């Protein structure tokens, strides 16, 4: 299985760093279009807790992001190495005026050292105008669309108040593939959602693989097309509906041992052309209520490395 850094290395020919950005969007699950209050785990920052302020211009956000990775960028002799993927992460980054949003994506791509664009969104928020615009960009730049799915269990989908369906997800995947097969699609799943059994979680992985392999197997030149997956364990942040459920004893997060044992069963379900983008959450410590094991990122990554080599 190809690692994410190998995959990016093969695409860009160098090491890349992601810079998280805020396009100034909200979410249809917050403004009343699809729902209010958002998904039960979503923070006030719309999952963009490490992103620079949306009050800054896109180039200023990028400059701020570059400073965060500056130490990693310098080689032994002090020369600058590596390039950047700009990652529109906060809320639903395709939800808004398509002209303005596409302008922001292009502005970000024009900044020095930027080689790729990643956009996080919901499957029901890819308007024809946005998708056409992203397809155009993908003819000259690497483009990655990250789709939240979280689970393929519709009942859980309702419990977490995601306000879109599996059909929305399938439709989005097929539309992206039809419009621009070169766009790299990444699906986000969450383990440990309310009331989910082990089989529910493994079924979500099977669901992603099933639809990915239908549309992603090979391109017109018979080359295998990679697709991406992110799996994280659910964590509880302050001021969320999940936090209130936790206080009422209606929800308990999974332990590290349980999460790892789930991954051990899930990873063999992924085919060769699946790129694993993430297996750890990255909760902001100032907002985290539980579980505390998710903050020890270095240790978790070490243990995950061993797990992946099994
Ligand atoms: S779809 Fe994303 S941004 Fe919107 S409420 Fe859910 S997690 Fe938050």
Interval 102-111 mean pLDDT: 98
CA 186/CA 169 separation, integer angstroms: 12
pTM for this structure?
0.94
Q: Which mutation among 23, 95, 122 tests ligand 1's pocket best, with the greatest number of atoms within 8 A of CB?
A: 122
Task: Identify the pLDDT of residue 70.
Answer: 79
Ligand 1 center–CA 44 separation, angstroms:
10
Summarize pLDDT for 261-301 with one digit per residue, the tens.
999 999 999 998 899 999 998 898 999 999 999 998 889 98
Q: What percent of the chain has pLDDT over 90?
A: 76
Q: What percent of the chain has pLDDT over 70?
A: 93
The mean pLDDT of the chain is 92
Residue 306's pLDDT band (boundaries 50, 70, 90)? Answer: confident
Interval 18-24 mean pLDDT: 95
Given the CA of residue 161, which atom of ligand 1 is nearest to it?
Answer: 6
Q: Class for domain 4-225, per CATH?
A: alpha beta
The pLDDT of residue 310 is above 60: no
Summarize pLDDT for 220-245 with one digit per residue, the tens.
676 778 899 999 999 999 999 999 99
- Give, in order, the Cα–Cα distances in Å from 279 to each of 190, 260, 275: 10, 10, 11
Given the CA of residue 162, which atom of ligand 1 is nearest to it?
Answer: 6
- Chain mean position to CA 93: 11
Reference 149, options 203, 88, 214; nearest CA is: 203
Q: Give the residue whose CA is nearest to atom 4 of ligand 1.
A: 27
Interval 83-100 mean pLDDT: 96
Ligand 1 center–CA 121 separation, angstroms:
8
Residue 19's pLDDT band (boundaries 50, 70, 90)? Answer: very high
Interval 59-75 mean pLDDT: 86
Given the CA of residue 43, which atom of ligand 1 is nearest to it?
Answer: 8
* Mean pLDDT lowest among 69-78, 135-144, 145-154, 201-210: 69-78
Q: Give the residue whose CA is nearest to atom 7 of ligand 1.
A: 42
Residue 57's pLDDT band (boundaries 50, 70, 90)? Answer: very high
Q: Which mutation among 31, 120, 162 tests ligand 1's pocket best, with the greatest number of atoms within 8 A of CB?
A: 162
CA 278/CA 222 separation, integer angstroms: 27
Ligand 1 center–CA 129 separation, angstroms:
21
Task: Identify the pLDDT of residue 225.
Answer: 82
Ligand 1 center–CA 249 separation, angstroms:
23
CA 216/CA 227 separation, integer angstroms: 7
The pLDDT of residue 50 is above 80: no
CB contact set of 57 (below 8 Å; sequence gap of 6+): none
Ligand 1 center–CA 307 separation, angstroms:
30
Task: Identify the pLDDT of residue 217.
Answer: 66
Residue 79's pLDDT band (boundaries 50, 70, 90)? Answer: confident
Residue 43's pLDDT band (boundaries 50, 70, 90)? Answer: confident
CA 229/CA 235 separation, integer angstroms: 18
Which residues line the pocket of ligand 1, CB cutoff 6 A? 27, 29-30, 38-39, 42, 46-47, 91-92, 122, 148
Q: Which mutation among 42, 146, 236 tests ligand 1's pocket best, with the greatest number of atoms within 8 A of CB?
A: 42
Interval 52-63 mean pLDDT: 91
Query: Sign of dihedral through CA atoms 45, 46, 49, 55?
Result: negative
Collapsed DSSP state (helix, strand, coil) of residue 25:
coil
* Mean pLDDT lowest among 240-244, 249-253, 304-308: 304-308
Q: Which mutation among 20, 92, 193 tests ligand 1's pocket best, with the greatest number of atoms within 8 A of CB?
A: 92
């Amino acid at each position: 299985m190809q690692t994410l850094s190998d995959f990016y290395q093969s695409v860009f020919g160098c090491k890349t760093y992601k810079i998280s950005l805020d396009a100034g969007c909200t979410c249809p699950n917050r403004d009343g279009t699809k729902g209010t209050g958002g998904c039960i785990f979503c923070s006030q920052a719309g999952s963009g807790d490490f992103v620079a302020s949306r009050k800054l211009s896109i180039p200023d956000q990028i400059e701020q992001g570059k400073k965060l990775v500056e130490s990693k960028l310098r080689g032994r002799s002090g020369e600058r190495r590596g390039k950047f993927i700009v990652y529109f992460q906060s809320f639903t980054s395709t939800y808004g005026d398509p002209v303005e949003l596409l302008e922001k994506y292009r502005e970000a791509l024009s900044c020095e050292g930027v080689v790729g664009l990643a956009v996080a969104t919901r499957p029901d928020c890819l308007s024809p105008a946005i998708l056409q615009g992203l397809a155009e960009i993908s003819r000259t730049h690497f483009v990655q669309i990250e789709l939240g799915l979280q689970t393929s269990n519709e009942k859980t989908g309702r419990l977490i108040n995601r306000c879109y369906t599996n059909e929305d997800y399938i439709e989005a995947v097929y539309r992206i593939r039809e419009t621009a097969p070169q766009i790299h699609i990444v699906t986000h799943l969450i383990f440990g959602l309310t009331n989910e059994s082990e089989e529910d979680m493994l079924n979500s992985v099977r669901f992603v693989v099933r639809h990915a392999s239908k549309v992603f197997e090979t391109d017109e030149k018979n080359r295998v097309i990679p697709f991406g997956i992110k799996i994280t364990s659910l964590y509880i942040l302050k001021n969320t509906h999940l936090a209130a459920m936790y206080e009422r004893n209606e929800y308990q997060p999974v332990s590290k041992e349980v999460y790892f044992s789930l991954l051990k069963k899930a990873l063999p379900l992924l085919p060769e052309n699946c790129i694993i983008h993430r297996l750890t959450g990255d909760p902001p410590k100032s907002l985290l209520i539980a579980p505390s094991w998710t903050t020890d990122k270095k240790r978790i990554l070490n243990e995950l490395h061993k797990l992946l080599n099994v």
